[in-house]
Amino acid sequence: MTLTETVFALVAAWGPLVIFASAFLSCLALPIPTSLMMLTGGAFAAAGDLSLWQVVAAAWIGAVLGDQAGFLIGRFGGTPVVDRLARAPARAAVLARARALVDKRGPVGVFLSTWAVAPLGPWVNFIAGATGLGWLRFTLADVTGEVIWVALYTGLGQVFASNITVVADAMSDIVGLVVALVVALAAALWIRAMLRAQKARNSSAKAPARVTG
């Protein structure tokens, strides 16, 4: 059974409940195809097999609660939790990208991580909590961004109900491209900041000493 067939079977059997669970767990960095779940839920709603508002509510509530759980894990676990997560090189790299996004953009970075660069989302949740981003600022950015994420995928599922696999593949490619662009931009900004700092230090070192007396 393919992934798409498995997702279809789960959504057909469990409806909004499995969409809620997948949204919650994926926001804690578990590798679950929640986007495909929402596309499928939207398609089932278009066919009249599921209620659209229940699909949307399940996905949105699950995502927000998952984000909140990740934020609280980072807040109460602090640096030790992040360090433990970063022991694996792959996780260390994605955590570094998440940290760069939060450090540079703050709550705007949280907002973008929920939909524009969704693969970074769970890691942004941990970093936002661990680095002390205010809970209210995090929550406002999070709930707003998740509205876009859920509306985008359930809406596409409704519109392209007969071509879910094609849409899922296309959206995966687009998200991957956006993530790559964000990472490249963050690296460029970091390099520019380092060069400016080095230039400032060099200028300070070359400046003539002030004569006093």
Q: Where are the domains of the chain?
A: 3-206
Higher pLDDT, 97 or 191: 97
Cα gap 88→105, rounded to integer Å: 26
Contacts of 6 (CB under 8 A, 6+ apart): none
Per-residue pLDDT at 20 exceeds 90:
yes
Higher local confidence (pLDDT), 207 or 78:
78
Residue 129 scores a pLDDT above 90: yes
Give every CB contact of residue 47 below 8 A, 6+ residues apart in sequence: 161
pTM (2 d.p.): 0.76
For residue 134, count CB atoms less than 10 angstroms from its CB and return exposed for 0-12, middle for 13-18, buried for 19 or more. exposed
Residue 163: predicted pLDDT: 59
Listed in sequence order, the residues at least 6 apart from 210 whose beta carbon sits closer than 8 Å to its beta carbon are: none
pLDDT at 162 over 90: no
Radius of gyration, CA atoms only, the chain: 21
Is 50 exceeded by the pLDDT of residue 174?
A: no
**CA 104 to chain CA mean position, Å:** 15
- What's the average model confidence in pLDDT over 43-69? 94
Q: What pLDDT, on the 0 to 100 scale, is given for residue 99?
A: 93
The enclosing H or E element of 85 equals: helix 52-85
User: At residue 55, does pLDDT exceed 90?
Assistant: yes
Q: Given pLDDT bands bounded at 50, 70 and 90, which one contains residue 101? A: very high
